[in-house]
Chains A and B, each alone.
Chain A
């Protein structure tokens, strides 16, 4: 099973600041990595797929990078609606696995 480790667990930032979230895989997942956003009481929403492609309707302030085992989700300038939990997920191998999540909270 591929283990995804996200860091930090919590990121405390102010609106307008840049957020950098990390996801590390226990073995190479090539570019088969996605990022999801989840707000309280809501289902997750696909943000980034194939490591760096924005899903439909996702604002340009969200960007993804990386390949192999190290990946980054960057939010260039935090908007109030961006404070949420973010998960990475791989589909390189079964079982599909998620990282433990990074909570982006208001400082």
Chain B
């Protein structure tokens, strides 16, 4: 059974940093691209970032480019999102999701809440 378990969310002040983790199991993690998607309270879905299976190629939404860094450790089956210079508008539930062989967001974690506030 595929499982994705996010952790690392919490309350942080504006300008602060946070690192999210996503522990994967039930599939060959190193064979699949992964994405982070976020959802602000009461709002829709926003794709944040993507990393290819080998961890070499990354993409970012303009809203987080230069502030967030996606990475992965295939030996630990774990995906990361380093978030720096956090802003109030980054407040959201952050989901990790794997991209299937066709590129679709096939399996999703349960999400971790990040709140940026004083």
Contacts and interface: CB of A to CB of B under 8 A. Distances in A.
A89 B105 contact: yes
Given A87-B45, A95-B59, A100-B44, A46 B110 contact: no
B61 A34 contact: no
B59 A34 contact: no
B106 interface: yes
Nearest to B50: A96
A87 to B, nearest CB: 6
Q: Is the interface of B mostly helix, strand, loop or mixed?
A: strand
Contacts of B41: none
Interface residues of B, number: 21
Given A43-B95, A43-B108, A45-B108, A98 B44 contact: yes
Interface in A72-107: 87, 89, 91, 94-101
A94 B59 contact: yes
Contacts of B35: 96
Interface string B42-58: 00111100100000000
Given A43-B95, A50-B102, A91-B103, A98 B45 contact: yes
A44 interface: yes
B109 interface: yes
A87 B105 contact: no
Contacts of B109: 43
**Quick one: which of B47, B61, B105, B110 has the most chain A CB within 10 A?**
B105
Contacts of A34: 104-105
Interface of B: 35, 37, 44-47, 50, 59-62, 95, 102-106, 108-111
Interface of A: 1, 32, 34, 36, 38, 42-46, 49-50, 55, 87, 89, 91, 94-101
